[in-house]
Amino acid sequence: MRNGLYSIQLQFGDGVKGRDGGIAILRDGQLLSGGPYFWSVGRYSVGQSSGNRGTWKGELVTNQHTPFNDPGVRPLFGGQEVSSGFSGTFSDDTSEVFGTMLVGKRSLSFRGVLKRLVEG
């Protein structure tokens, strides 16, 4: 994975209707991300790579910084700190990851797509 600013789109699995999006900054094994309601901090490592293609994996912790304004929205995390692990592939300026998050005692899967916006 190349250092830079990425857009990130997440889709949750395991029958959960939910998605999230925001930005992520990846720099030398450190990951910082956020959006309108959540922020995350973590680390990652690159596995096998050849040119601009390869594999990577990481872990992060996510917290909510702003409550939802819509009373009809039921937050997936409910204000809890959530730990996640992921692995995936990258090519040029895009990446696809699959991971698992632990929300309380519940384990949920997710798929994420990252697109590099700016080199950094």
Condensed to tens digits (0 to 9), the pLDDT of residues 56-84 reads 999 999 998 887 777 776 666 777 899 99
Q: Residue 64: what pLDDT?
A: 87
Other CB atoms within 10 A of residue 95 CB: 24
Q: Residue 75: what pLDDT?
A: 65
CA–CA gap between residue 37 and residue 4 (Å, rounded): 22
Q: Residue 90: what pLDDT?
A: 96
pTM: 0.88
Q: Residue 73: what pLDDT?
A: 67
The domain of 28 spans 4-119
Q: Residue 80: what pLDDT?
A: 83
The alpha-carbon radius of gyration of the chain (Å, integer) is 14
For residue 68, the cross-strand partners are none
Query: Do residues 26 and 58 touch, judged by C-beta distance below 8 A?
Result: no
Residue 99 belongs to domain with CATH number: 2.40.128.380
The count of structural domains within the chain is 1
CA–CA gap between residue 62 and residue 42 (Å, rounded): 9
pLDDT < 50: residue spans in the chain: none
Token reading at 26: 């990846």
